[in-house]
Amino acid sequence: MICISISRFEEIAVLRDREVELVELRLDQIAMDPSEIYPSVPARWRTIATCRPGAYDDPNRLAWLKSSMELGARFVDAEIESSRDYLSELRDVAATRGTALILSYHNFDTTPEPVVLTEMLDRCFELGADIAKIATSVNTREDLLHLLGLFQLPGRKVVIGMGKMGRIIRIMAPYLGAEFTFASPQKGLETAPGQLDVMQLLEIYKMIDES
């Protein structure tokens, strides 16, 4: 499954008539209250609410994620580095609303050794994740092999290779058991290094499936 990562409110209207299953709403980049966003989201879309650190403080991010769950988000994504109180509140609301909790580990510089990746995956589940997300920067062939090894481990997961070398992981992930992979709505609107746009990804999958 492809999840389209949306960083601009205008893209919701652009994608409205497309065959879209899952979208990530990057609240930190859209920079709008969820109450202003969700009325424009087609009911058939499943959404992931994400608000990364940086632009907003933790109380505001938490409020937006909780509001998104109340407005119908099927998934909510938070960082494993978040405080226990932050994650506890998210878990409580997610359990009440029937929202799946994604906990994410990001490393924008390197891909750690397998033992560290396994520890991060386990940490996500220990903290209450329904889905663990591991996203690391791929710089070598060995990095690719380390990420591929995560698919042998139990649990629902998303595994992402960032950067140009990591694109093969993004493409392969759904075939290896990942819950989904990410794509941008169009070229130039990527929300992470190495992200392909949805039309590129669909064309690749079409060639694979028809071969």
The Cα 26–Cα 7 span in angstroms is: 5
24-81 pLDDT per residue, tens: 999 999 999 999 999 999 999 999 999 999 989 999 999 999 999 999 999 999 999 9
pLDDT number for residue 199: 95
pLDDT number for residue 209: 87
- C-beta atoms surrounding 59 within 10 Å: 9
In contact, 3 and 180? CB cutoff 8 Å: yes
pTM for the full predicted model: 0.95
Q: Which CATH class is domain 2-210?
A: alpha beta
Sheet of strand 22-26: strand arrangement: 157-162, 131-137, 100-107, 75-79, 46-50, 22-26, 2-6, 181-183
pLDDT at 211 over 80: no
